[in-house]
Structure 1
Amino acid sequence: MNSSSTSATLEAPKRLVIASRESRLAMWQAEHVQACLKKLYPGCDVQILGMTTRGDQILDRALSKVGGKGLFVKELETALEDGRADLAVHSLKDVPMVMPEGFDLACVMAREDARDAFVSNDYASLEDLPKGAIVGTSSLRRESVLRAKFPHLEIQALRGNLDTRMSKLDRGEYQAIILAAAGLKRLGLASRIRAYLPYDPYTPAAGQGALGIETLSKHPNIKQWLAPLNDLPTLYAVSAERMVSRQLGGSCEVPLAAYALWDQGQMQIRSFVASVDGKAICLANGNAKVQSVDDAEALGLAVAKDLLAQGAADLIPKITK
Structure 2
Amino acid sequence: MRTLRIGTRGSLLAKWQAEFIRKQLFAATGIEAEIVVIKTAGDKMQHAPLMQIGGKGIFIKELEEALLGETIDLAVHSVKDVPTDTPSRLIFPAVCRRGDVRDCLVGSTLANLRQGARVGTSSLRRQAQLRHLRPDLDLRDMRGNVDTRLRKVESGEYEAVMLSKAGLDRLGLSQRISEILSPEISMPAVGQGAIAVECRLKDTEAADQLAPLDDQETRTAVIAERALLSALQGGCQVPLGLPP
Match of 2:217 in 1: 233
Match of 1:24 in 2: 12
Q: Which sections of structure 1, spanning at least 5 residues, go unmatched?
A: 1-12, 261-321
Match of 1:318 in 2: none
Identity %: 44
Please, what TM-score do these two structures have when normalized by structure 1?
Answer: 0.74
Match of 2:175 in 1: 191
Is 1:60 aligned to 2:47, yes or no? yes
Match of 1:74 in 2: 61
* CA distance in structure 2 between the aligned counterparts of 1:24 and 1:103, rounded to whole angstroms: 25
Q: How many residue pairs were aligned? A: 244
Q: 2:22 aligns with which of 21, 29, 34?
A: 34
Contact preservation (8 Å) 1:237, 1:259? no
Contact preservation (8 Å) 1:63, 1:69? no
Please, what TM-score do these two structures have when normalized by structure 2?
Answer: 0.96
The code of the aligned residue for 2:86 comes to M
Q: Which sections of structure 2, spanning at least 5 residues, go unmatched?
A: none
* CA distance in structure 1 between the aligned counterparts of 2:48 and 2:78, rounded to whole angstroms: 21
Q: 1:159 aligns with which of 131, 143, 162?
A: 143
- Measured on the aligned residues, the alpha-carbon RMSD in Å equals 1.2
Contact preservation (8 Å) 2:98, 2:195? yes
* CA distance in structure 1 between the aligned counterparts of 2:141 and 2:56, rounded to whole angstroms: 15
User: Which entry has the higher C-alpha Rg, 1 or 2?
Assistant: 1
How far the C-alpha of 1:186 sits from its partner, in A, is 0.3
Residue 128 of structure 1 aligns to a residue whose secondary structure is coil
* CA distance in structure 1 between the aligned counterparts of 2:45 and 2:55, rounded to whole angstroms: 11
Contact preservation (8 Å) 2:3, 2:32? yes
* CA distance in structure 2 between the aligned counterparts of 1:68 and 1:210, rounded to whole angstroms: 22
How far the C-alpha of 1:259 sits from its partner, in A, is 3.7
Match of 1:14 in 2: 2
Q: 1:218 aligns with which of 202, 212, 224?
A: 202
How far the C-alpha of 1:67 sits from its partner, in A, is 2.6
Q: 2:192 aligns with which of 205, 208, 228?
A: 208
Question: Deviating runs (4+, > 6 A) in structure 1?
Answer: none
- Could you report, residue by residue, the CA deviation over 1:67-101 in whole angstroms, capped at 9, with x for unpaired residues? 34511111111111111111100111011112122
Match of 2:33 in 1: 46
Higher relative contact order (CA 8 A, sep 6+): 2
Is 1:88 aligned to 2:88, yes or no? no
* CA distance in structure 1 between the aligned counterparts of 2:78 and 2:56, rounded to whole angstroms: 10
* CA distance in structure 2 between the aligned counterparts of 1:88 and 1:64, rounded to whole angstroms: 25
Is 1:170 aligned to 2:158, yes or no? no
